[in-house]
Amino acid sequence: MPTPPNKIWQDTYTIHIYHVDRDGFTTMASICDFLQESAWKHANSASFGYEQLKEQNLIWVLSRLLIKAYRFPKWKEKIKLNTWSKGMVGIFADRDFEIFDEEEKLIISATSSWLVLDSATRKIRRSENIKNRLPAFPEKKALPFRAAKIAETDFTGQGPFHPVLFSDLDLNNHVNNARYIRRIFDSLHEKFRSKHLPDEMEINFINEGIFGDELAVLHSSFVNDQSIYSIIRKKDNSELIRTRIKWRERNSIGIDPDFSVQ
Tell me the C-alpha distance between 236 and 214, whole Å.
10
Provide the pLDDT for residue 5.
46
Answer yes or no: is 2 within a domain: no
Cβ–Cβ under 8 Å, residues 233 and 140: no
Provide the pLDDT for residue 259.
33
Beta bridge partners of 178: none
Provide the pLDDT for residue 172.
87
Answer yes or no: is 259 within a domain: no
Answer yes or no: is 80 within a domain: yes
Q: Is 254 exposed, middle or buried (0-12, 13-18, 19+ CB in 10 A)?
A: exposed
Q: Is 50 left (phi over 0), alpha (psi -120 to 50) or beta?
A: alpha
User: Would you list the DSSP string of 91-128?
Assistant: TEEEEEEEEE-TT--EEEEEEEEEEEEETTT--B---H
Answer yes or no: is 255 within a domain: no
pTM of the full predicted structure?
A: 0.90
Ramachandran angles phi, psi of 75, nearest 5°: -50, 135
How many structural domains compose the chain? 1
Closest to 113 (Cα-Cα) out of 42, 64, 49: 64
Answer yes or no: is 59 within a domain: yes
CATH number at residue 111: 3.10.129.10
Range of the domain at 189: 9-249
Closest to 112 (Cα-Cα) out of 183, 201, 221: 201
Answer yes or no: is 1 within a domain: no
- Residue 131 is classified by DSSP as H
Cβ–Cβ under 8 Å, residues 106 and 142: no
Tell me the C-alpha distance between 83 and 67, whole Å.
13
Answer yes or no: is 260 within a domain: no
The answer for residues whose C-beta is within 8 angstroms of residue 8's C-beta and 6 or more apart is 82, 83, 84, 137
Provide the pLDDT for residue 261.
32
Provide the pLDDT for residue 2.
46
Provide the pLDDT for residue 125.
84
Answer yes or no: is 241 within a domain: yes
Give, for all 262 residues of the chain, the pLDDT tens digit: 444 445 799 999 999 999 999 999 999 999 999 999 999 999 888 777 777 787 888 888 999 999 999 999 999 999 999 999 988 888 899 999 999 999 999 999 999 999 988 888 998 887 666 666 666 777 889 999 999 999 999 999 999 999 999 999 998 899 999 999 999 999 999 999 999 999 999 999 999 999 999 999 999 998 889 999 999 999 999 999 999 999 999 876 544 333 333 2
Handedness of CA 247, 107, 86, 4 (dihedral sign): positive
